[in-house]
Amino acid sequence: MTLAHTQEGATQWLQALGALGTFIGVFVSFGFWFVDLRYQQAVDIVGRTIVNEEKMAPFAVSWIHGKNARTPVLFTISTIIKGGDEHVFTSSMFDQLPPNHDEVPGKNLCHKLDESPFWQEVRASWETSRRELRIGTWWAVGLAWLKAGMLILVNKLRRTDKKWKPIECARRFLRRKVSQDLRLRPMQSPKDLNRHLLYPEFQRECKRRDIERGGETQDPILEYAVRMPGLKSPWDVSVDVHPLLGYENSWKQHLQRIWISDGKPCIEVSRTELAALALIMGIRIHLNYKDSDSPSAARKDPKSDVLDRPEVESPGGDGKLDSQSQLFGQGYPRSLGGDGIFGRGLYGKPLYGDSWALRLVVGRVEHTSDGPSRGSGYSTLFAKCMACGCVPFETTDRWNRVIFITKGTLKAIKAGMNIRDGFYEEGKDKDESARPQKYLNRLPSARRISYYGLPGALNEGKIPHVCTVDGAPILAWPRVVAGIAFGGLVPMATLNLVRAIRFTAEGENNTVEIALEQLWNIMIDIQHLAQFHQLFGQDIEDAAKAKEGEEMEKMGNPTDASMARAASAISHLSTILEYAIARCAEPDAILNGGINVAPPVAHETAQQRRHRARADVFQACCKELSDSFLIARRSEEPANHHLHRKDETHTATVEKPISTHKARFDVVTCGRIARYIILVWSYYVTIVVWNDEENVEALKFVGNNKDRVYHPVDLNELPRSCFLS
């Protein structure tokens, strides 16, 4: 062996020892870094919180980022509310919140919005863009490696096979990495039956077992019926031009960094966001001025006294909140409580000054009959507006157009007068009548609100219309009322609004007893036909199996129902309509009856058939409401305003019962079902009052059932800033 070979061997050994020493040094350094990182996470409240998946849900950061990670961001409450205005979700999103009594119950609110079907599609488009970017990057790196490998292979490494192994390992790694990026991950099926599986927009292959046909079909169980005229479906709007979506760099105004309170993440909530969230979720907020008045103080109040928000400055200028509690005045509220429908609740306790700690609690309902149905519920835009006395009827690019119904507007509607642009203010009660309008203007909204409500010209013997300032008609009043069945079946509304709706829907020849009986029979029939899905809950399923008892006793008296029981009944109503529309959209559905419906199109797609069925049912409902309104106008006194009131001069004729034999719903039948639903809703809805005079009238209206009357807390009395955990 020559000296050259000996020197070459020694050099190779030294290179190997150097590489081994470098590897050991890197490994030891990584070990020290990992131990230090874990120690910092153990002693630091931020790192311990943001990596905890139980507290952060899907928003947890990777443990490797540790203390130096950017504080996670979550949706603002205003963004959630505006998303509801855009119909990104409906009230059913809140119905699906799981019962939660853990440390951070409020995380489920953002979690449910994050995993809603529409956001899933948006996220999929973003992930596709990111994946394409990663694939392009890895391909560029891979080509560079291959070129370098070929160059080294040709010039230096052809003499031995051992020196080729690093290049071969790198090539295999790149090939494996690129193949992983190219592979699309399939969607995982949910473990239990999700509400969205009942709709064709969310699950294309949703199967329905029809007992009568004895087989499986591809027809959807329910048809999504929450629609606003003039507002496109989120699926029809490009993500790039959507007012709430767009590219990720435009999301700064819709996201906020979290606060950390006692090791728990919190979201800052303003008083207007708190008020809007309560109206949307059907929660009645009350301020308690004594500790003994708060039934929730010992059960749901947060434990923290100090809030810390890392890396984010507070409105006062620093990143820390003052931990010193101030002495409360004599009239300062001591706690905040609110019980709502379907087991929801909001509970708060003051921290310092005007800042409160707030908890959103979703518990189990006390009775199975108080739970929600599997339908899409109501529009959150309707919930905000109708609690303030307004009925939305159209949405444009800039405006939400609503009719503000006061006593003067109600009188004008009963007299058959048109409704013009502007809202009606009544002389000396000007400030009181405008209070709900001012309240609504302060709530978060995706668009500005344009009010209609001034009495216009008289339409003698005709249907009143909503008109512009110049008197040009926009649409008929029955079409406004028909929209309530398509997204407006909310749990709370004002007294004058409910009176106007009941006057229009009840007419003279129908009473609420007939509507209740027929809707109950329809619901039982639907439960038999869709028994595998439990659309209406356990109680209705048990009633359908029993086949005994009187219908009115089963349905109950609306005036005796609590708010929770009434909200459950309203939820059943919306599911009935969605099932009926889905049956009208079937290829062999019956289309008949004296109304101007869209004719079937040759080679009509399933989506076109569903849209046509929904439009036809809406048109049939408008005709039903027009007829009932004209009947009510011709009578000297509107038909029954109370459930058990008997009128000696009333000569009602009982209509033919609605038949749902073999699930054959025609358009006319669905139109009548929609009118019955609106009428029954007017008896179950909780009345919102804005002054003492309305409170007295509302109690008489609901038969002195105090649980069905709610007086909202003034916005200025609510906490200026809350931290929702």
Confidence at 711, pLDDT banded by 50, 70, 90: very high
666 has pLDDT over 70 = yes
H helices present in 359-488, as ranges: 380-387, 407-414, 430-442, 477-482
Tell the burial category of 330 from Cβ atoms under 10 Å away from its Cβ (0-12, 13-18, 19+). Answer: exposed
Coarse DSSP helix, strand, coil percentages of the chain, rounded to the nearest 5 percent: 50, 15, 35
111 has pLDDT over 70 = no
Beta bridge partners of 399: 448
Please give the Cα distance from 515 to 677 (Å, whole number): 8
107 has pLDDT over 90 = no
| Best mean pLDDT range from 21-30, 112-121, 549-558 | 21-30
| Best mean pLDDT range from 370-384, 629-643, 651-665 | 370-384
The predicted model gives 299-308 an average pLDDT of 36
- 424-438 in b/e form (b: 16+ CB < 10 A) is bbeeeeeebbbbbbe
Confidence at 520, pLDDT banded by 50, 70, 90: confident
pLDDT in tens, 142-189: 555 555 555 555 454 444 444 445 555 555 555 544 444 433 333 232
276 has pLDDT over 70 = yes
Instruction: Look at residues 81, 49, 43 and name the one whose alpha carbon lies nearest to residue 63.
Output: 49
Q: Are 516 and 680 in contact (CB under 8 A)?
A: yes
Confidence at 506, pLDDT banded by 50, 70, 90: confident
Q: Beta-strand (E) ranges in 235-389?
A: 255-257, 259-261, 264-270, 283-288, 307-308, 335-340, 344-352, 355-362
608 has pLDDT over 90 = no
Return the pLDDT at 665: 77
The predicted model gives 468-494 an average pLDDT of 91
Q: Roughly what angle, to the nearest 10 degrees, separates helices 430-442 and 380-387?
A: 160
Q: In degrees, to the nearest 5, what angle opens at C-alpha 72 toward C-alphas 67 and 74?
A: 165
H helices present in 456-590, as ranges: 477-482, 495-506, 512-529, 538-546, 551-555, 563-584
Average predicted confidence (pLDDT) for the chain: 70
Q: Are 468 and 417 in contact (CB under 8 A)?
A: no
Q: Are 630 and 463 in contact (CB under 8 A)?
A: yes
Tell the burial category of 227 from Cβ atoms under 10 Å away from its Cβ (0-12, 13-18, 19+). Answer: middle
H helices present in 156-216, as ranges: 165-182
Confidence at 125, pLDDT banded by 50, 70, 90: very low
Residues contacting residue 176 through CB under 8 Å, at least 6 positions apart: none
The pTM score is: 0.73
Please give the Cα distance from 92 to 372 (Å, whole number): 8
pLDDT in tens, 18-61: 777 887 877 777 776 666 655 555 555 565 566 666 566 656 66
The predicted model gives 635-651 an average pLDDT of 44
526 has pLDDT over 80 = yes
Beta bridge partners of 465: 476
Confidence at 99, pLDDT banded by 50, 70, 90: low
Please give the Cα distance from 281 to 490 (Å, whole number): 10
Please give the Cα distance from 519 to 533 (Å, whole number): 19
pLDDT in tens, 184-241: 333 232 233 344 445 554 443 333 333 333 334 445 677 777 776 655 554 444 444 4
Instruction: Look at residues 19, 59, 43 and name the one whose alpha carbon lies nearest to residue 35.
Output: 43
Instruction: Look at residues 278, 376, 369 and name the one whose alpha carbon lies nearest to residue 567.
Output: 369
| Best mean pLDDT range from 172-176, 618-622, 657-661 | 618-622
Q: How far is CA 132 from CA 126, 173, 188, 198, in A?
A: 10, 19, 22, 33
Q: How far is CA 628 from CA 182, 388, 477, 511, in A?
A: 61, 26, 12, 11
Which amino acid, residue 146? Answer: L
Q: Are 328 and 334 in contact (CB under 8 A)?
A: yes
Beta bridge partners of 348: 336, 358
**Radius of gyration over every alpha carbon of the chain, rounded to an integer in angstroms:** 31
The count of C-alpha atoms lying within 13 angstroms of the C-alpha of 512, restricted to the half-sphere facing its C-beta, is 22
Q: Are 476 and 606 in contact (CB under 8 A)?
A: no
Which tokens go with 486?
Answer: 């398509």
pLDDT in tens, 400-448: 999 999 888 999 999 889 998 886 555 445 555 688 989 999 999 988 9
Among 70-84, 565-579, 653-667, the minimum mean pLDDT is found in 653-667
Greatest Cα-to-Cα distance within the chain, rounded to the nearest angstrom: 127
Return the pLDDT at 614: 86
Return the pLDDT at 385: 94
Return the pLDDT at 20: 78
Q: How far is CA 233 from CA 59, 202, 238, 616, 670, in A?
A: 27, 13, 10, 18, 23
Q: Are 446 and 82 in contact (CB under 8 A)?
A: yes
Please give the Cα distance from 114 to 120 (Å, whole number): 7
